[in-house]
């Protein structure tokens, strides 16, 4: 069975669009829902609006900001730009100039750029670094490693996102984790090689968790074996008989023999 990655989902969404406007609209709807349900952002934002639905728009058309998010704790507003690009195409500076212009205005205090290409031109990177307001980035890999079950995604209903139960590894990720665990039983180092968009970071984190649990369980088994050895005295637990001299009431020496156990074995009364 072919593994369906977020890259596959991206292709479906990209090529199923009937126009550039339809393509952008679907991605913005997907992004709105993503920011509402992905735990990292759901905890940070109390509201996420498409630009045309934002109460503070005052009739202004979209000139660079695609969505607006409200910080749950401070009430500050975050301007969001969505760039639905071919991953192989570099993002030019001119594509984000209008966003930075609008972000510099009130009431926005910070920005968030979501792009499906990690390749930015050097001028775009420089423009990002020179912003006076903090700007975060969400990349294609962040989507791939999210809590969303992308196998259930329908490009015709981009705002419908289903979360994975407890964020469990997918089948191919589980196979990779098990292979790593088996390999580290006989080797002290290894390498995980996975295709782009298949969740390498998440798989690595789950491996570390499972590896730590396995090591902890092994240490506990060893401690239990040690406790068992201490509970069952063996012949090696006793020292050779020792002779203790004690004067009898008559003043003549009398020998008394007794065993002396190791410190871990209690002396019988």
Backbone torsions φ then ψ of 143, nearest 5 degrees: -65, -45
Arithmetic mean of pLDDT, 178-198:
86
The dihedral sign for the CA sequence 222, 228, 234, 239 = positive
Please check whether residues 41 and 133 belong to one and the same domain.
yes
Angle between helices 171-183 and 200-231 (to 10 degrees): 50
Backbone torsions φ then ψ of 255, nearest 5 degrees: -90, 135
pLDDT in tens, 121-149: 999 999 999 999 999 999 988 988 888 88
**What is the domain extent for residue 192?**
171-227
Please check whether residues 13 and 59 belong to one and the same domain.
yes
Q: Can you name the residues that pair with 256 across neighbouring β-strands?
A: 244
Arithmetic mean of pLDDT, 208-221:
81
Please check whether residues 147 and 181 belong to one and the same domain.
no
Whether 159 is covered by a domain: the verdict is no
Please check whether residues 133 and 60 belong to one and the same domain.
yes
pTM (global) more than 0.75: no
pLDDT band at 251 (very low <50, low <70, confident <90, very high): low
Contact of 23 with 32, CB cutoff 8 Å: no
Please check whether residues 127 and 189 belong to one and the same domain.
no
167-206 burial string, b = 16+ CB within 10 Å, else e? Answer: eebbebbeebbeebeeeeeeeeeeeeebeebbbbebbbeb
Please check whether residues 42 and 71 belong to one and the same domain.
yes
Q: Structural domain tally of the chain? A: 2
Please check whether residues 144 and 14 belong to one and the same domain.
yes
pLDDT value for 240: 46
d(CA 10, CA 30): 11
Please check whether residues 145 and 104 belong to one and the same domain.
yes
Q: Which of 112, 116, 123 is nearest to 86 (CA)?
A: 116
pLDDT in tens, 148-166: 888 888 888 899 998 877 7
Whether 54 is covered by a domain: the verdict is yes
């Amino acid at each position: 069975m072919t593994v369906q990655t977020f890259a596959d989902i991206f292709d479906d969404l990209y090529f199923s669009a009937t126009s550039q406007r339809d393509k952008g609209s679907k991605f913005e709807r997907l992004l709105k829902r993503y920011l509402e349900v992905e735990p990292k952002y759901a905890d940070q934002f109390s509201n996420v609006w498409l630009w045309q639905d934002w109460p503070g728009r005052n009739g202004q058309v979209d000139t660079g900001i695609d969505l607006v998010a409200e910080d749950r704790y401070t009430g500050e507003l975050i301007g969001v730009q969505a760039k639905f690009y071919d991953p192989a195409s570099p993002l030019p500076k001119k594509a984000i100039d209008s966003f930075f212009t609008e972000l510099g205005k009130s009431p926005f205090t910070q920005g968030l750029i979501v792009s499906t290409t990690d390749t930015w031109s050097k001028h775009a990177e420089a423009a990002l670094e020179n912003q006076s307001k903090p700007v975060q980035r969400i990349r294609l890999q962040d989507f791939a490693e999210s809590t969303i079950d992308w196998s259930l995604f329908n490009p015709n209903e981009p705002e419908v996102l289903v979360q994975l139960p407890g964020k469990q590894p997918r089948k191919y990720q589980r196979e990779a984790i098990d292979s790593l665990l088996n390999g580290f039983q006989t080797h002290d180092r290894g390498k995980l090689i996975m295709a782009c968009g298949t969740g390498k970071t998440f798989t690595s984190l789950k491996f570390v968790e499972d590896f730590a649990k396995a090591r902890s369980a092994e240490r506990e088994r060893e401690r239990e074996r040690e406790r068992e050895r201490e509970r069952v005295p063996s012949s090696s637990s006793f020292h050779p008989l020792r002779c203790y001299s004690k004067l009898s009431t008559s003043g003549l020496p009398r020998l008394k023999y007794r065993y002396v156990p190791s410190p871990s074995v209690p002396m019988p009364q």
